[in-house]
Structure 1
Amino acid sequence: MKTILLSLSLLSLLIPSVGRAAFYQWTDANGVVHFTDNRSNIPRQYRDKAQRVEVSDSAPVTVSPGATTPSHKAPAAGVEPGGHNEGWWRDRYKSLRTELKTLQDQRAALDQQLVELRRKRTIFQRARDRVAINTMEAQVSTIDAKISDMLNRIAALDLAAAQAAVPLEWRQ
């Protein structure tokens, strides 16, 4: 009996499972795209406009709030994906990635400065060093929030590009 149970357990681990998750996407009044996996986290004024996004191992599918089955958007012949040309998509990706790289470089520089300040604090035990460390940690926290926002914006652009059937080479 134990061998059968063990065999079934191993078999269940070997069978690939389809990974699926449902997320909600909405755009606020400032034009910022937000994602959540819990509908109750969406502010009330945006709940009616929120779209359910099914994420699986295949391409993402957006489900309108009133729709019962997912629908893929197929680009019409002669129409540019997402209403934008290749240059727009490439420029948008390039600007977001450049800004992300700049933020990450700033974060790395602040980390080095923070290490130096902590070393000084350990050696000299000065109160002004503690104030400087607190200030630096606040700056790091601010940059972390900006990096997170930038990653969300890139993810939203990726989602929009996937929905608009933008070719992968345009997303580089």
Structure 2
Amino acid sequence: MKTILLSLLLLSLLIPSAARAAFYQWTDAQGVVHFTDNRNNIPKQYRDKAHRVEVSDSAPVVVSPGATAAPRPAATPEQAPGGHDERWWRDRYKSLRSELKSLQDQRTALQQQLVELRRKRTIFQRARDREAINTMEAQVSTIDAKISDMLNRIAALDLAAAQAAVPLEWRQ
């Protein structure tokens, strides 16, 4: 009996299964696209607008609530992926990445200033030094939030590009 169970267990481990995952996508009031794998993480005001994104070994498919997933028709050569041409995709990626780089540079500069302020604070212990540190920390956290938003926007553009079958060289 143990041999049969052991052989069934080994057989079940050896048979490959299709990898599938379901994610939800929604856009908030500011136009930021969000993703989650748990429907309960979606704010109540956006749940009815959320789309289920089926991800498997093949290309992702967006499923609208109440709709069934249908295969995407093949694009003809004269149709641009996602309704946009190569220049639009390249410019969009370039602008998002340059904004991200700018925010990261700002954050690095603020971090260096914060180190200097903390060094002064340990020497002088003045109230205005503490206020300056608190202000600088608030600025760093604001930039961190902007960086996170920018990464979400880039991820959303990547998803849209993947769904529209945009060539990888256009995404550089």
Give the TM-score, by structure 2 length.
Answer: 0.82
- Relative to 1, partners in 2 of residues 1:74 and 1:46: Cα closer, same or farther, differing over 3 Å? farther
Q: Aligned-residue CA RMSD in angstroms? A: 2.7
1:82–1:115 Cα change, 3 Å: same
Q: Alpha-carbon deviation of 1:22?
A: 2.0
Task: Give the equivalent residue in structure 2 for 1:117.
Answer: 117
Specify every segment of 5 or more residues in structure 1 that has no aligned partner in the other structure, as ranges. none
The one-character-per-residue Cα deviations of 1:101-123 (angstroms, maximum 9, x if unpaired) are 00000000011111111111112
Report what 1:51 is aligned to. Answer: 51
Checking the alignment, whether the CA contact within 8 Å between 2:32 and 2:149 is kept in structure 1 is: no
Amino acid at match of 2:160: A
Unmatched 5+ residue regions in structure 2?
Answer: none
- The size of the alignment, in residue pairs, is 166
Partner in structure 2 of residue 67 of structure 1: 67
Is the contact made by 1:74 and 1:164 (CA closer than 8 Å) also made in structure 2?
Answer: no
Does residue 24 of the first structure (1) align with residue 24 of the second (2)? Answer: yes
The 1:70/1:54 distance shift into structure 2, 3 A limit, reads farther
Residues 148 and 73 of structure 1: is their aligned pair in 2 closer, same or farther, counting only changes over 3 Å?
A: farther
Q: Percent identity, please.
A: 83
1:131-142 correspondence runs (5 A): 131-142=131-142
For 1:73 and 1:164, locate their aligned partners in 2 and report how far apart those are by CA, in whole Å.
Answer: 11
CA-CA distance at 1:74 after TM superposition: 3.8
Contact 1:22 1:53 in 2 (8 A): yes
Amino acid in the other structure paired with 1:25: Q
Corresponding position: 1:153 with 2:139 = no
Amino acid of the structure 1 residue aligned with 2:90 = R
Paired residue type of 1:44: K
Describe the superposition over 1:22-76 as per-residue Cα deviations: whole angstroms up to 9, x where unpaired: 2211123443222222212323343232111133455333222223446446434
Tell me the equivalent position of 2:97: 97
CA distance in 2, matches of 1:70, 1:47: 22
Task: Please give the alpha-carbon distance, in whole angstroms, between the structure 2 residues aligned to 1:81 and 1:48.
Answer: 28
Question: What's the TM-score, normalizing by structure 1?
Answer: 0.82
Q: Distance in 1 between matches of 2:121 and 2:135?
A: 14
Matches of 1:65 and 1:87 in 2, distance apart? 33
Structure 2 contact 61–69 (Cα < 8 Å) conserved: no
Segments of 4+ in structure 1 off by > 6 A?
14-18
Determine the C-alpha separation between the residues in 2 that align with 1:69 and 1:96. Answer: 30
CA contact (8 A) 1:73 1:163 kept: no
- For 1:59, the aligned partner's letter is A
Matched to 1:111, the amino acid is Q
Pairwise CA distance, 1:128? 1.4
CA contact (8 A) 1:73 1:164 kept: no
CA, structure 1 residues 126+15, in 2 after alignment: closer, same or farther (shift >3 Å)? farther
